[in-house]
Amino acid sequence: MSGFLYDVCVPAYNSKATLPSTLDSIFSQEIRPHRVVVIDDGSTDGTSETAREIGVWTISTPNRGTAAARNVGLRALCCDYVAFVDADDMWLPTMSSAQAQLWGQLPASAALLSTGRTTFVGRPLPQQDEVNSDLVVSQVVPSELWLQNVLTASATMYRRAALEQVGGFRDGSRTVEDYDVALRLMAAEWTLFRTPKALCLWRFGASSKTAHVAEMLDEESRVLTSFYASVYRRLHLSDANLGARLRQSWRRAIARAAIYRLDFAILPPIAQYAPPTIMDRFIDFAIHRRLLGPLLAKIWRARRAVLGITF
Protein backbone atom coordinates (compact mmCIF):
# COMPACT_ATOMS: atom_id res chain seq x y z
CA MET A 1 0.00 0.00 0.00
CA SER A 2 1.70 3.18 -1.23
CA GLY A 3 2.08 5.96 1.35
CA PHE A 4 0.83 3.80 4.21
CA LEU A 5 0.42 6.01 7.30
CA TYR A 6 -0.21 4.66 10.76
CA ASP A 7 0.12 5.76 14.39
CA VAL A 8 1.17 3.75 17.43
CA CYS A 9 -0.10 4.09 21.01
CA VAL A 10 1.87 2.45 23.84
CA PRO A 11 -0.22 2.10 27.03
CA ALA A 12 2.21 1.75 29.92
CA TYR A 13 1.94 1.05 33.63
CA ASN A 14 5.13 0.68 35.71
CA SER A 15 6.98 -0.31 32.53
CA LYS A 16 10.27 1.54 33.03
CA ALA A 17 12.32 -1.64 32.56
CA THR A 18 10.71 -2.86 29.33
CA LEU A 19 9.55 0.37 27.64
CA PRO A 20 12.89 1.23 25.96
CA SER A 21 13.04 -2.09 24.06
CA THR A 22 9.38 -1.72 23.03
CA LEU A 23 9.94 1.77 21.66
CA ASP A 24 13.17 0.76 19.94
CA SER A 25 11.29 -1.99 18.09
CA ILE A 26 8.65 0.50 16.94
CA PHE A 27 11.16 3.08 15.71
CA SER A 28 13.12 0.32 13.91
CA GLN A 29 10.23 -0.46 11.56
CA GLU A 30 10.76 -0.63 7.81
CA ILE A 31 7.89 1.86 7.55
CA ARG A 32 8.20 4.22 10.50
CA PRO A 33 5.00 5.34 12.23
CA HIS A 34 3.63 8.82 11.64
CA ARG A 35 3.34 9.43 15.39
CA VAL A 36 4.01 7.46 18.55
CA VAL A 37 2.48 8.30 21.91
CA VAL A 38 3.09 6.70 25.30
CA ILE A 39 0.10 6.84 27.66
CA ASP A 40 1.44 6.53 31.20
CA ASP A 41 -1.44 5.01 33.15
CA GLY A 42 -0.55 6.33 36.61
CA SER A 43 2.87 4.66 36.90
CA THR A 44 4.94 5.06 40.06
CA ASP A 45 8.29 3.77 38.76
CA GLY A 46 9.36 6.64 36.50
CA THR A 47 7.81 5.33 33.28
CA SER A 48 6.92 8.85 32.06
CA GLU A 49 10.43 10.13 32.73
CA THR A 50 11.94 7.21 30.83
CA ALA A 51 9.69 7.84 27.82
CA ARG A 52 10.47 11.56 27.76
CA GLU A 53 14.20 10.90 28.05
CA ILE A 54 13.92 8.75 24.93
CA GLY A 55 12.17 11.69 23.26
CA VAL A 56 8.70 10.19 22.85
CA TRP A 57 5.49 12.18 23.15
CA THR A 58 4.05 11.17 26.53
CA ILE A 59 0.66 11.75 28.13
CA SER A 60 0.29 11.02 31.84
CA THR A 61 -3.10 10.04 33.26
CA PRO A 62 -4.47 8.69 36.56
CA ASN A 63 -4.51 4.89 36.72
CA ARG A 64 -7.72 3.77 34.98
CA GLY A 65 -6.62 0.64 33.14
CA THR A 66 -5.41 -0.29 29.68
CA ALA A 67 -8.71 0.33 27.90
CA ALA A 68 -8.92 3.93 29.13
CA ALA A 69 -5.27 4.50 28.21
CA ARG A 70 -5.91 3.19 24.71
CA ASN A 71 -8.86 5.54 24.29
CA VAL A 72 -6.72 8.52 25.33
CA GLY A 73 -4.19 7.50 22.69
CA LEU A 74 -6.88 7.00 20.05
CA ARG A 75 -8.19 10.52 20.63
CA ALA A 76 -4.68 12.01 20.55
CA LEU A 77 -3.64 10.39 17.25
CA CYS A 78 -4.92 11.10 13.76
CA CYS A 79 -3.98 8.49 11.12
CA ASP A 80 -6.54 6.20 9.52
CA TYR A 81 -4.70 3.19 10.96
CA VAL A 82 -3.60 2.81 14.56
CA ALA A 83 -1.87 0.09 16.55
CA PHE A 84 -1.65 -0.39 20.32
CA VAL A 85 1.54 -2.04 21.57
CA ASP A 86 1.77 -3.08 25.22
CA ALA A 87 4.86 -1.65 26.90
CA ASP A 88 6.39 -5.08 27.51
CA ASP A 89 6.01 -6.41 23.94
CA MET A 90 8.02 -5.79 20.77
CA TRP A 91 7.57 -5.73 17.01
CA LEU A 92 9.85 -7.38 14.49
CA PRO A 93 11.16 -4.83 11.92
CA THR A 94 8.86 -6.10 9.15
CA MET A 95 5.61 -5.68 11.10
CA SER A 96 4.72 -2.36 9.48
CA SER A 97 5.61 -3.36 5.90
CA ALA A 98 3.63 -6.59 6.28
CA GLN A 99 0.64 -4.70 7.63
CA ALA A 100 0.86 -2.22 4.73
CA GLN A 101 1.02 -5.03 2.17
CA LEU A 102 -1.92 -6.93 3.62
CA TRP A 103 -4.12 -3.90 4.28
CA GLY A 104 -3.85 -3.20 0.54
CA GLN A 105 -5.63 -6.52 -0.06
CA LEU A 106 -8.44 -6.08 2.47
CA PRO A 107 -11.98 -4.83 1.78
CA ALA A 108 -13.35 -1.52 3.05
CA SER A 109 -15.28 -3.48 5.68
CA ALA A 110 -12.04 -4.63 7.37
CA ALA A 111 -11.78 -3.30 10.93
CA LEU A 112 -8.50 -4.88 12.01
CA LEU A 113 -5.58 -7.05 10.98
CA SER A 114 -3.71 -9.14 13.55
CA THR A 115 -0.47 -11.05 13.00
CA GLY A 116 0.94 -14.07 14.79
CA ARG A 117 3.27 -13.81 17.76
CA THR A 118 6.35 -15.43 19.22
CA THR A 119 6.39 -15.93 22.98
CA PHE A 120 9.18 -14.04 24.75
CA VAL A 121 10.29 -15.22 28.20
CA GLY A 122 13.58 -13.45 28.81
CA ARG A 123 14.50 -14.54 25.27
CA PRO A 124 12.44 -15.35 22.16
CA LEU A 125 10.98 -18.85 22.01
CA PRO A 126 10.27 -19.21 18.28
CA GLN A 127 7.27 -21.23 17.16
CA GLN A 128 8.72 -22.24 13.81
CA ASP A 129 5.40 -22.94 12.11
CA GLU A 130 4.40 -19.32 12.70
CA VAL A 131 7.79 -17.66 12.23
CA ASN A 132 8.36 -19.38 8.89
CA SER A 133 4.78 -19.21 7.64
CA ASP A 134 3.89 -17.34 4.47
CA LEU A 135 2.41 -13.86 4.63
CA VAL A 136 -1.17 -14.87 3.90
CA VAL A 137 -4.33 -13.43 5.35
CA SER A 138 -7.66 -15.02 6.31
CA GLN A 139 -10.91 -13.72 7.72
CA VAL A 140 -11.79 -14.47 11.34
CA VAL A 141 -15.11 -16.30 11.36
CA PRO A 142 -17.66 -15.76 14.14
CA SER A 143 -17.42 -19.31 15.51
CA GLU A 144 -13.68 -18.78 16.15
CA LEU A 145 -14.13 -15.54 18.04
CA TRP A 146 -17.18 -16.70 19.98
CA LEU A 147 -15.06 -19.45 21.51
CA GLN A 148 -11.93 -17.55 22.50
CA ASN A 149 -9.74 -14.59 21.61
CA VAL A 150 -7.74 -15.58 18.52
CA LEU A 151 -6.09 -12.15 18.18
CA THR A 152 -2.96 -10.71 19.81
CA ALA A 153 -3.41 -7.20 21.20
CA SER A 154 0.09 -5.90 20.46
CA ALA A 155 0.08 -7.45 16.98
CA THR A 156 -3.16 -5.83 15.82
CA MET A 157 -3.64 -2.73 13.69
CA TYR A 158 -7.09 -1.14 13.56
CA ARG A 159 -9.00 1.02 11.12
CA ARG A 160 -9.69 4.20 13.10
CA ALA A 161 -13.18 4.65 11.64
CA ALA A 162 -14.22 1.20 12.85
CA LEU A 163 -12.99 1.80 16.40
CA GLU A 164 -14.72 5.16 16.55
CA GLN A 165 -18.01 3.71 15.29
CA VAL A 166 -18.22 1.21 18.17
CA GLY A 167 -17.11 3.78 20.76
CA GLY A 168 -13.51 2.65 21.16
CA PHE A 169 -12.43 0.36 23.98
CA ARG A 170 -14.69 -0.20 26.96
CA ASP A 171 -13.50 2.10 29.78
CA GLY A 172 -12.93 0.25 33.03
CA SER A 173 -11.61 -2.90 31.40
CA ARG A 174 -8.11 -3.84 32.59
CA THR A 175 -7.67 -7.07 30.62
CA VAL A 176 -8.92 -8.55 27.30
CA GLU A 177 -10.08 -5.12 26.13
CA ASP A 178 -8.98 -6.16 22.63
CA TYR A 179 -11.29 -9.19 22.78
CA ASP A 180 -14.23 -7.07 23.87
CA VAL A 181 -13.78 -4.56 21.05
CA ALA A 182 -13.28 -7.34 18.47
CA LEU A 183 -16.60 -8.93 19.45
CA ARG A 184 -18.34 -5.57 19.24
CA LEU A 185 -16.77 -4.84 15.84
CA MET A 186 -17.97 -8.18 14.51
CA ALA A 187 -21.46 -7.56 15.92
CA ALA A 188 -21.45 -4.20 14.09
CA GLU A 189 -20.80 -6.12 10.84
CA TRP A 190 -17.16 -5.15 10.41
CA THR A 191 -14.84 -7.92 9.19
CA LEU A 192 -11.71 -9.04 11.05
CA PHE A 193 -8.56 -10.53 9.53
CA ARG A 194 -5.37 -12.20 10.69
CA THR A 195 -2.17 -13.77 9.40
CA PRO A 196 -0.24 -16.56 11.16
CA LYS A 197 3.06 -14.86 10.37
CA ALA A 198 4.71 -14.12 13.74
CA LEU A 199 5.77 -10.48 13.70
CA CYS A 200 5.33 -9.65 17.39
CA LEU A 201 7.40 -10.70 20.41
CA TRP A 202 4.83 -11.30 23.15
CA ARG A 203 6.44 -11.16 26.55
CA PHE A 204 5.10 -13.57 29.17
CA GLY A 205 6.44 -12.87 32.65
CA ALA A 206 5.58 -12.02 36.22
CA SER A 207 4.80 -8.39 35.39
CA SER A 208 2.75 -8.97 32.23
CA LYS A 209 -1.04 -8.81 32.25
CA THR A 210 -1.25 -12.27 30.72
CA ALA A 211 0.63 -13.71 33.70
CA HIS A 212 -2.48 -13.05 35.83
CA VAL A 213 -4.34 -15.93 34.21
CA ALA A 214 -7.23 -16.23 36.66
CA GLU A 215 -8.10 -12.53 36.36
CA MET A 216 -7.81 -12.65 32.59
CA LEU A 217 -10.06 -15.70 32.28
CA ASP A 218 -12.66 -14.15 34.59
CA GLU A 219 -12.71 -11.00 32.47
CA GLU A 220 -12.86 -13.03 29.25
CA SER A 221 -15.91 -14.85 30.62
CA ARG A 222 -17.58 -11.53 31.50
CA VAL A 223 -16.87 -10.18 28.02
CA LEU A 224 -18.41 -13.26 26.40
CA THR A 225 -21.43 -13.07 28.69
CA SER A 226 -21.97 -9.39 27.92
CA PHE A 227 -21.64 -10.04 24.20
CA TYR A 228 -24.00 -13.01 24.36
CA ALA A 229 -26.62 -11.06 26.29
CA SER A 230 -26.46 -8.11 23.88
CA VAL A 231 -26.71 -9.95 20.55
CA TYR A 232 -28.25 -13.36 21.27
CA ARG A 233 -31.87 -12.21 21.06
CA ARG A 234 -31.29 -10.42 17.74
CA LEU A 235 -29.41 -13.38 16.26
CA HIS A 236 -31.93 -15.90 17.54
CA LEU A 237 -34.86 -13.99 16.07
CA SER A 238 -33.18 -13.56 12.67
CA ASP A 239 -31.48 -16.95 12.47
CA ALA A 240 -32.36 -19.59 15.06
CA ASN A 241 -29.48 -21.86 14.00
CA LEU A 242 -26.96 -19.05 14.32
CA GLY A 243 -28.35 -18.11 17.72
CA ALA A 244 -28.11 -21.72 18.90
CA ARG A 245 -24.49 -21.93 17.72
CA LEU A 246 -23.65 -18.76 19.62
CA ARG A 247 -25.20 -20.12 22.81
CA GLN A 248 -23.32 -23.40 22.44
CA SER A 249 -20.02 -21.60 21.82
CA TRP A 250 -20.61 -19.32 24.79
CA ARG A 251 -21.32 -22.23 27.18
CA ARG A 252 -18.24 -24.09 25.93
CA ALA A 253 -16.03 -21.01 26.30
CA ILE A 254 -17.22 -20.45 29.88
CA ALA A 255 -16.53 -24.10 30.72
CA ARG A 256 -13.13 -23.87 29.05
CA ALA A 257 -12.20 -20.76 31.04
CA ALA A 258 -13.43 -22.37 34.25
CA ILE A 259 -11.38 -25.52 33.76
CA TYR A 260 -8.27 -23.55 32.81
CA ARG A 261 -8.80 -21.37 35.88
CA LEU A 262 -9.12 -24.47 38.06
CA ASP A 263 -5.90 -25.84 36.57
CA PHE A 264 -3.99 -22.64 37.24
CA ALA A 265 -5.33 -22.56 40.79
CA ILE A 266 -4.49 -26.13 41.84
CA LEU A 267 -2.53 -27.78 39.03
CA PRO A 268 -0.07 -25.14 37.72
CA PRO A 269 2.29 -27.57 35.94
CA ILE A 270 -0.50 -29.12 33.87
CA ALA A 271 -2.11 -25.79 32.97
CA GLN A 272 1.20 -24.13 32.19
CA TYR A 273 2.76 -26.86 30.08
CA ALA A 274 -0.06 -28.95 28.62
CA PRO A 275 -0.61 -28.07 24.94
CA PRO A 276 -3.81 -26.02 24.52
CA THR A 277 -5.05 -28.43 21.85
CA ILE A 278 -4.90 -31.32 24.33
CA MET A 279 -6.81 -29.28 26.91
CA ASP A 280 -9.44 -28.31 24.34
CA ARG A 281 -9.94 -31.91 23.26
CA PHE A 282 -10.32 -32.98 26.86
CA ILE A 283 -12.91 -30.24 27.49
CA ASP A 284 -14.83 -31.17 24.33
CA PHE A 285 -14.82 -34.83 25.31
CA ALA A 286 -15.90 -34.06 28.88
CA ILE A 287 -18.72 -31.78 27.79
CA HIS A 288 -20.10 -33.94 24.96
CA ARG A 289 -19.78 -37.23 26.85
CA ARG A 290 -21.21 -35.70 30.02
CA LEU A 291 -18.17 -36.75 32.00
CA LEU A 292 -17.07 -35.04 35.19
CA GLY A 293 -20.70 -34.12 35.70
CA PRO A 294 -20.59 -33.18 39.40
CA LEU A 295 -17.34 -31.22 39.00
CA LEU A 296 -18.47 -29.32 35.91
CA ALA A 297 -21.86 -28.64 37.48
CA LYS A 298 -20.17 -27.22 40.57
CA ILE A 299 -17.86 -25.06 38.44
CA TRP A 300 -20.81 -23.92 36.30
CA ARG A 301 -22.87 -22.87 39.34
CA ALA A 302 -19.89 -20.98 40.77
CA ARG A 303 -19.30 -19.19 37.45
CA ARG A 304 -22.94 -18.22 37.15
CA ALA A 305 -22.83 -16.72 40.64
CA VAL A 306 -19.58 -14.84 40.04
CA LEU A 307 -20.64 -13.50 36.65
CA GLY A 308 -24.22 -12.76 37.58
CA ILE A 309 -25.61 -14.96 34.82
CA THR A 310 -29.40 -15.15 34.88
CA PHE A 311 -30.13 -17.09 31.69
Question: For the segment 94-121, what is each residue's pLDDT rounded down to a tens digit?
Answer: 999 999 999 999 999 999 999 988 765 5
pLDDT confidence tier of residue 292, bands split at 50, 70 and 90: very low
First to last CA, the chain: 47
Statement: residue 249 has pLDDT above 80: no
Domain definitions of the chain by residue range: 6-210, 212-307
Q: What percent of the chain has pLDDT over 90?
A: 46
Statement: residue 234 has pLDDT above 50: yes
Give the pLDDT confidence of 41-94 residue by residue, as tens digits.
999 999 999 999 999 999 999 999 999 999 999 999 999 999 999 999 999 999
Question: What's the pLDDT at 143?
Answer: 73
Q: What percent of the chain has pLDDT over 70?
A: 59
Sign of the torsion angle spanned by Cα atoms 164, 178, 204, 303:
positive
| DSSP three-state, residue 14 | coil
Other Cβ atoms closer than 10 A to 281: 11
Comparing C-alpha atoms, which of 181, 9, 28 is closest to residue 78?
9
Question: What's the pLDDT at 80?
Answer: 97
Give the pLDDT confidence of 128-153 residue by residue, as tens digits.
444 556 789 999 988 778 767 889 89
Q: Quick one: CATH architecture of 6-210?
A: Alpha-Beta Complex (3.90)
Rounded-to-integer distance, Cα 194 and Cα 188, Å: 18
- 19-28, 59-68, 214-223, 228-237: lowest mean pLDDT where? 228-237
Phi, psi dihedrals of residue 200, rounded to the nearest 5°: -130, 135
